[in-house]
Amino acid sequence: MPPGSVYGGQGQQQQQHPQHPQYHSQHTQHPQHPHSQHPQYQQPVQQNLHPQYGEAPYANGNPQYHHVQYSQPTYQQQQPAPAPAPAPAPTNFYPLTAPQFSNYNGAYNRPPPSAAPPVQFVDPSFLQRPVAPNQTAYTPPIQTSQPAPAPAPTPAVNVAPTRAPLPPQQVSSATSSPRLASSQGGSGRPTSKDARRLPSAGSVAKSPVMSHAHVETLPVLIHVAEDCFSKANAGGQNIVRSMTPEEVAEHHKLVATGLGCLEVAMKSNKLFPRLEARLCLRYAGILVDETTNIMEAETALTRGIAVCEKHRFVDLKYSSQFLLMKTLFQRSQKAAFKSIDAYIADCTTYKHIHWIYAFRFLKAAFHLQSGTSSDHHALENLRKIAGIATQRDDKAIFVMAMILEGLAHLSSKKDDWVTRVQACIAGAAKLQLNDDVHIPQMDVLLLLLDIACSLHQKSPKILKQKMDSLQARLEELRHSPEWATLSDEVMLPIHRMANAPSTISNDTRQILRPGEGNVDYLVLSTLGKQEAYALAFVMNGIVALSTSTTLGRSTQIWNEAARLLEEKKPPSTSRSLPESLRQAGWANEVVYYTYMLVGLQAATLCDWVRVKNILEVLKNAQPSAGFPKIMTLYLNGVLMQGTAQLAAAAEIWSDPLFHLDQNSGHKTSTNHIEYQLSILAGLNRLWILNGNRDEAGMIDLIDQLRPLCEDDPDPEIKTAYNLVLSSIDFKPPRSMPLQQVKGHIQQALANAQATQNFHCLSIALNIMRLRLFENVAGEQAVKSAKAGTAQAKKSGNILWMSVGEGMLGQSYELMGAMAEAAASREAGVMFANEAYSRMQALR
């Protein structure tokens, strides 16, 4: 640097040292600037020890980090010359930007700022442990003759650690510099006689105040932030199980501390651009995951995107835009859909195929969450994904697009939804011989989708075959390393374009992950291993209702599903508390559903004590709004009506949650269960009104239920509707014609046989015996009564077993078979007493 800038901008040419001829001979090539070419004789400047993190200090940072003190690395000490005579008080000859030389003893120091805060060092690993501040002021040893005054503490100079000390022959003596004496004692301009060179790096190495290692603030802040986030995520699942106020408060404290560190780091004006973009992305990601401060997250992401566009960080720009869309969707779904279309257009223009897949799958997730997955735009988006994957031979992407389209049709429940779902499954199945598509998570998802579609078709034989295939695949994956137990993501391979610039890196690992060779991976969230096994158990229990000959077999399977979901899993360090709460909420809903199924089967078996116990468990769980609450109310109504508390049951069935209108059939999958339970509640209320002889209420309710039940695609809803209408009766002239009664009984029998619903089949046969063969002597009446009794025994319902045995005894009596009639009546009385005792056990 020019000497004039060092000496206060005076532009003076520096002269050679007259007392060092050796030094003069070594630098004769540059007589005007003897110290400007050698790096060890340069003016010491602040250099960054960690260029990837920028520089410190931070004037506007968090107050808890204002007390970080800087110290310098210690260089090789030289033996000082004898101390000179005491000099007069130093004058402020140099400007504030230049080094100040006072009490020169082989080192120079800068004057401290006027408002320098106290100094403290923060331990990055344990924030709660107080750490004593480091002392940077040097206290010289006390002389025996007279005490030496301690110099005033001054901040150390930031010297680059790579600079080596000078050789001994190049180090000048501190006591032989008349220039320093003049600067300390006089105030005039330097003359040619006492003009001296600048202090060298060797003189700096002799400074006693540089005795501690240099500490950068920015790396410490980032380390503290990541340490806080790691500790917070490590205890997320334990907090979900316990939810103690102390643990929750500690978690929020760790997150707040980490966010504070990142906020201080982002306020530095010397951040490198890529680090600034990464900090903005990290800061916004934590805000979105842990807090509800959406606006601040959008501000940070906007800043990061601007930096990325300026410096062409394509990978970080797309990652920030991806997170920005997730943030914007929480605030305005319409704005999110509009913005994501613009980003997809940009990716298409630049042919960034990886990010086209990422943004289109994100858009599909938005449609699924908003309930518009079956509209034209959602299906068009998924079909474009499939089309691009077909052109580029990305088979795994194609199969995943087919699975999501099948889920969209499954949730729509439109007229031709079954055909559309089967078409998607067939499109994915045509690639089953390709090894690229046999990813464990995708195989299980495809099988679960196929079984869920068949459950609505009510075909027991086909269901049994598909369930066997799913069980075989799950058994293969039980101990397979391809699917980790804690993994809840699926990696879809994508072929890399030749000679195309890479737009993914380690900073995009949450979305796109670089692979080996010419393959990269798209990362999607999916079911975990335990969750997939639990869903398989739930579906297996439903299939066992019509295929198993063991009473209560389904209950055992559902209990196993609940055990899997309630089992304590090892904590995952990469899962935040809100994410853990969302997954725990999903698991609780599935457990709630399994308890409801167990309760309904217990009601079928007239096990009212178990039904009451399950209701107590569900009420203690405090069901949230939606299908858990309405399912609890429905099971309570079943308990009241099954135990002959008809007034309480009628009040439950009249609850506003079971309100029906003509548009109820067009509800989405989120409340499809509510819609079906509302229909069943209306049918149960119709039976109670029939017992109370409220014909006006019966007619109004039938007019309301008829269009909903007759157009419902579920055969079991139609079965229940026909059973109720075939059993009620009106007084003349409103009585139902016998031909119409026969039609309802035939439809109920046909649907019950097709679905192999033994409970509904026993009810239909007993109603047929009552309405068509009452007081009729003949073999047909006996056969009808025997069939009703046999199917009631298969279903395990002792109440209908009692009814069937009683009607069979009556038919035997009309035929003159008194012995058989007495045996049947005795069996009927025994079953009736057993049913009555089970009801009395609740009181």
Q: Any idea what DSSP says for residue 569? A: P
Residue partners of 351: CB distance under 8 A and separation at least 6: 497, 500
At 653, the pLDDT band (50, 70, 90 cuts) reads very high
At 51, the pLDDT band (50, 70, 90 cuts) reads very low
Residue partners of 582: CB distance under 8 A and separation at least 6: none
Regarding whether 745 and 643 lie in a shared domain, the answer is no
Confidence at residue 622, expressed as pLDDT on a 0 to 100 scale: 67
Whether residue 800 is predicted with pLDDT greater than 60 in this model: the reply is yes
Regarding whether 678 and 737 lie in a shared domain, the answer is no
What letter represents residue 457's amino acid?
Answer: Q
pTM of the predicted model, to two decimals? 0.72
CB-based burial of residue 92 (10 Å sphere; 0-12 exposed, 13-18 middle, 19+ buried)?
A: exposed
Regarding whether 717 and 700 lie in a shared domain, the answer is no
Whether residue 194 is predicted with pLDDT greater than 60 in this model: the reply is no
How far apart are the C-alpha atoms of 201 and 164, rounded to whole Å?
8
| 3-state helix/strand/coil string of 813-837 | HHHCCHHHHHHHHHHHHHHHHHHHH
Regarding whether 179 and 39 lie in a shared domain, the answer is yes
How far apart are the C-alpha atoms of 493 and 472, rounded to whole Å?
25
Confidence at residue 625, expressed as pLDDT on a 0 to 100 scale: 66
Q: Using one digit for the tens of pLDDT, what is the confidence trace for 210-222?
A: 334 445 788 899 9
At 474, the pLDDT band (50, 70, 90 cuts) reads very high
Taking the CA atoms of residue 16, residue 18, residue 21 and residue 23 in that order, the dihedral angle to the nearest 10 degrees is -40
Q: Flag whether 804 is in a domain.
A: yes
- Residue that terminates a domain, selected from 199, 214, 229: 214
Helix boundaries (H) for 643-694: 646-653, 672-692
Tell me which of 180-189, 307-316, 602-611 is least confident: 180-189
Regarding whether 828 and 771 lie in a shared domain, the answer is yes
- Look up the CATH number of the domain holding residue 791: 1.25.40.10
Average pLDDT over residues 782-794: 92
* Cα of 71 vs its chain's centroid, Å: 43
Residue 512 in 3-state DSSP?
strand
Which whole-number Å values give the CA distances from 36 to 8, 32, 41, 194, 198, in the listed order? 17, 9, 7, 20, 10
- Residue that terminates a domain, selected from 187, 214, 241: 214
- Tokens 């808890």 -> residue: 64
Regarding whether 71 and 158 lie in a shared domain, the answer is yes
How far apart are the C-alpha atoms of 356 and 521, rounded to whole Å?
13
Looking at the chain, the whole-number percentage of residues with pLDDT higher than 70 is 72
Whether residue 288 is predicted with pLDDT greater than 80 in this model: the reply is yes
Q: Flag whether 60 is in a domain.
A: yes
What letter represents residue 94's amino acid?
Answer: Y
Regarding whether 632 and 754 lie in a shared domain, the answer is no
Confidence at residue 712, expressed as pLDDT on a 0 to 100 scale: 85
Tokens of 785: 């009564």
Q: Flag whether 247 is in a domain.
A: no
Q: Flag whether 414 is in a domain.
A: no
Q: Using one digit for the tens of pLDDT, what is the confidence trace for 119-132?
A: 444 444 434 444 44
Closest Cα partner for 121 from 65, 79, 172, 202? Answer: 65
Q: What does residue 492 show for φ and ψ, rounded to 5 degrees? A: -100, 120
- From first CA to last CA, the distance across the chain in angstroms is 98
Tokens of 469: 């295939």
CB burial of 136-175 (b: ≥16 within 10 Å; e: otherwise) equals bebeeeeeeeeeeeebebbbbbbbeeebebbeeebbbebb
Confidence at residue 663, expressed as pLDDT on a 0 to 100 scale: 58
At 574, the pLDDT band (50, 70, 90 cuts) reads low
Regarding whether 755 and 721 lie in a shared domain, the answer is yes
Closest Cα partner for 782 from 790, 763, 826? Answer: 790
Average pLDDT over residues 472-480: 91
Regarding whether 693 and 797 lie in a shared domain, the answer is no
- Residue that terminates a domain, selected from 677, 705, 733: 705
Average pLDDT over residues 721-739: 89
Q: Flag whether 57 is in a domain.
A: yes
Closest Cα partner for 41 from 74, 79, 1? Answer: 1
Residue 67 in 3-state DSSP?
coil
Closest Cα partner for 38 from 47, 50, 27? Answer: 27
Confidence at residue 624, expressed as pLDDT on a 0 to 100 scale: 65
Q: Any idea what DSSP says for residue 17? A: P
Most confident of 14-28, 386-400, 613-627: 386-400
- The enclosing H or E element of 467 equals helix 460-476
Q: Flag whether 10 is in a domain.
A: yes
Regarding whether 730 and 701 lie in a shared domain, the answer is no
Confidence at residue 384, expressed as pLDDT on a 0 to 100 scale: 96
At 569, the pLDDT band (50, 70, 90 cuts) reads low
Tell me which of 84-98, 489-503, 553-567 is least confident: 84-98
CB burial of 488-527 (b: ≥16 within 10 Å; e: otherwise) equals bebbbbbbbeeeeeebbeebbeebbbbeeeeebbbbbebb
Q: Is-contact 562 591, C-beta < 8 A? A: yes
Whether residue 43 is predicted with pLDDT greater than 70 in this model: the reply is no
Q: Flag whether 740 is in a domain.
A: yes
CB burial of 655-677 (b: ≥16 within 10 Å; e: otherwise) equals eeebebeeebbebebebbbbbbb
Regarding whether 747 and 629 lie in a shared domain, the answer is no
Regarding whether 722 and 653 lie in a shared domain, the answer is no
Per-chain mean pLDDT for the chain: 77
At 743, the pLDDT band (50, 70, 90 cuts) reads very high
Tell me which of 74-83, 226-235, 509-518, 736-745 is least confident: 74-83
- The enclosing H or E element of 524 equals strand 519-525
Which whole-number Å values give the CA distances from 678 to 647, 652, 705, 709, in the listed order? 18, 11, 10, 11
Domain count, the chain: 3
Q: Residue 799: which region, alpha, beta or left (left: phi > 0; alpha: psi -120 to 50)?
A: alpha
Domain that holds residue 644: 616-705
Q: Using one digit for the tens of pLDDT, what is the confidence trace for 351-392?
A: 999 999 999 999 999 998 888 877 888 899 999 999 999 999
Confidence at residue 141, expressed as pLDDT on a 0 to 100 scale: 45
Confidence at residue 236, expressed as pLDDT on a 0 to 100 scale: 75
Whether residue 461 is predicted with pLDDT greater than 80 in this model: the reply is yes
Count of all residues that appear for the chain in the document = 843
Average pLDDT over residues 526-548: 90
Residues paired with 489 in a beta bridge: 525
Q: Is-contact 771 726, C-beta < 8 A? A: yes
How far apart are the C-alpha atoms of 138 and 37, rounded to whole Å?
32
Average pLDDT over residues 72-82: 44
How far apart are the C-alpha atoms of 85 and 22, rounded to whole Å?
27
Q: Flag whether 372 is in a domain.
A: no
At 571, the pLDDT band (50, 70, 90 cuts) reads low
Average pLDDT over residues 718-744: 90
CB-based burial of residue 733 (10 Å sphere; 0-12 exposed, 13-18 middle, 19+ buried)?
A: exposed
Q: Pick the more confident residue, 45 or 840.
A: 840
Q: Using one digit for the tens of pLDDT, what is the confidence trace for 308-323?
A: 999 999 999 999 999 9
The DSSP-derived string for 77-115 is: --PPPPPPPPPPPP---S-TTSPB--S-SS--BPPPPTT
Q: Is-contact 738 770, C-beta < 8 A? A: no
